[in-house]
Amino acid sequence: MKPGEKNLITDVAGLVVGNAKDDALNSGVTVLTAAKPFSASVHVMGGAPGTRDTELLAPDKLVSQIDALVLSGGSAFGLAACDGVMQGLRMDGRGFAVGEARVPIVPGAIVFDLLNGGDKDWQDNPYPALGQRAYAAARRDFDIGSAGAGTGAMTGRLKGGLGSASAVLDNGLTVGALVVVNALGQATVGEGRHFWAAPWELEQEFGGLGLPPQFPAAQEPAPSKRLGEATTIAIVATDADLDKAALQRLATAAHDGFARALVPSHTPFDGDLIFAAATGEKPLRDPVADPFVLGHAAATVLARAVARGVHAARPAPGDLQPCWSQMR
């Protein structure tokens, strides 16, 4: 596999991503959408998820396609970002047709960033407006690092962020990932700058350091955050023609990317979850081999995206953690 043209999830043709942030709030919203509805499912492995409309994505539920996916800061308040995205879609005449009515289908998930040093003394929930702004900003090119829902993200040791990566496979399919890294665990090994995801790095996309020459002795991790303060949320996407059942399996396989890139992951304190999306533009050429390859690719691309999100984070006034770029 090789990176796509932009090494972003939008290398999956037809997908666009929009970011909006409030620097004073130290939080933001990221939206993935497309010009037409697309298929999606989800798999949750963390112990403290925060979600909206994820039940619709189960293989046995009525709605087969959605209009957008939302990743947001703000804990439960951030779920209201979906309202703003729905408003933007409604203004564009988008949505699931029910008679003469149209209802935009916008599942979402949140990370906890309420104790990251930003000004949270607001009277009106800021997330609907951030959601609408993010939807309006959706483009093929977008920022990673301290952007969108990754604006105020933190990890066990370093500032987190919004990450993305892509891969073009030998079978002609494309896989991309988009992730908000706000984990209890660490993306780097011990006290150093080497990323756990190093074995899967392509073209020095997060520093090219490889693995450290010597690993620290194994230790039992101690939580650096309290219950509900963490969570890493992601989207993996492909141009393959996959139904919701196949996408649920893709999301499940992609969780290996969290385990490769974050230590520890899937803890009781994290709400780790992964959406899987498909534009359906390319039929599977081999119904046995292609899903096998897609699952491996999804995990690999997601591990790279996690490292890229932390690698791209930038310092800001009031930060409670250093950035990877500040380490020596």
Q: How far apart are CA 165 and CA 182, in angstroms?
A: 17
Contact of 290 with 240, CB cutoff 8 Å: yes
Give the model's pLDDT for residue 126. 98
Which two three-digit tokens encode residue 297? 């690719």
Contact of 33 with 18, CB cutoff 8 Å: yes
Q: How confident is the model at residue 112 (pLDDT cuts 50, 70, 90)?
A: very high
12-42 in b/e burial notation, b at 16+ Cβ within 10 A? Answer: bebbbbbbbbbeebbbbbbbbbbeebbbbbb
Q: How far apart are CA 54 and CA 109, in angstroms?
A: 9
Q: How far apart are CA 246 and CA 255, in angstroms?
A: 15
Model confidence at 215: pLDDT above 80: no
DSSP 188: B
Q: Report which secondary-structure segment, H or E, holds 302.
A: helix 289-311
pLDDT digits (tens, 9 = 90+) for 52-62: 999 999 999 98
Please give the mean pLDDT across all residues of the chain: 93
Q: How far apart are CA 204 and CA 156, in angstroms?
A: 24
Nearest to 258 by CA among 210, 225, 306, 218: 306
Range of the domain at 153: 2-326
Burial class (CB in 10 A: 0-12, 13-18, 19+), 161: buried
Model confidence at 48: pLDDT above 80: yes
Task: Average the pLDDT over 212-232 and give the result.
Answer: 69
Number of domains making up the chain: 1
Q: How far apart are CA 38 and CA 305, in angstroms?
A: 22
Provide the pairing of β-strand 161-168 with 174-181.
Answer: antiparallel
Model confidence at 324: pLDDT above 60: yes
Give the model's pLDDT for residue 219. 65
Q: Look up the CATH number of the domain holding residue 256.
A: 3.60.70.12
Contact of 26 with 116, CB cutoff 8 Å: yes
Model confidence at 46: pLDDT above 90: no
Task: Average the pLDDT over 108-137 and give the result.
Answer: 95
Give the model's pLDDT for residue 53. 96
pLDDT digits (tens, 9 = 90+) for 277-320: 999 999 999 988 999 999 999 999 999 999 999 999 999 999 99
Provide the pairing of β-strand 233-240 with 273-282.
Answer: parallel
Model confidence at 218: pLDDT above 90: no
Give the model's pLDDT for residue 214. 78
pLDDT digits (tens, 9 = 90+) for 4-40: 999 999 999 999 999 999 999 999 999 999 999 999 9
Provide the pairing of β-strand 108-110 with 51-52.
Answer: antiparallel
- The gap from C-alpha 176 to its chain's centroid, in whole angstroms, comes to 10
- The gap from C-alpha 208 to its chain's centroid, in whole angstroms, comes to 22
Q: What are residue 15's DSSP bridge partners? A: 34
Give the model's pLDDT for residue 217. 64
Q: How confident is the model at residue 233 (pLDDT cuts 50, 70, 90)?
A: very high
pLDDT digits (tens, 9 = 90+) for 164-211: 999 999 999 999 999 999 998 999 998 899 999 999 999 999 999 999
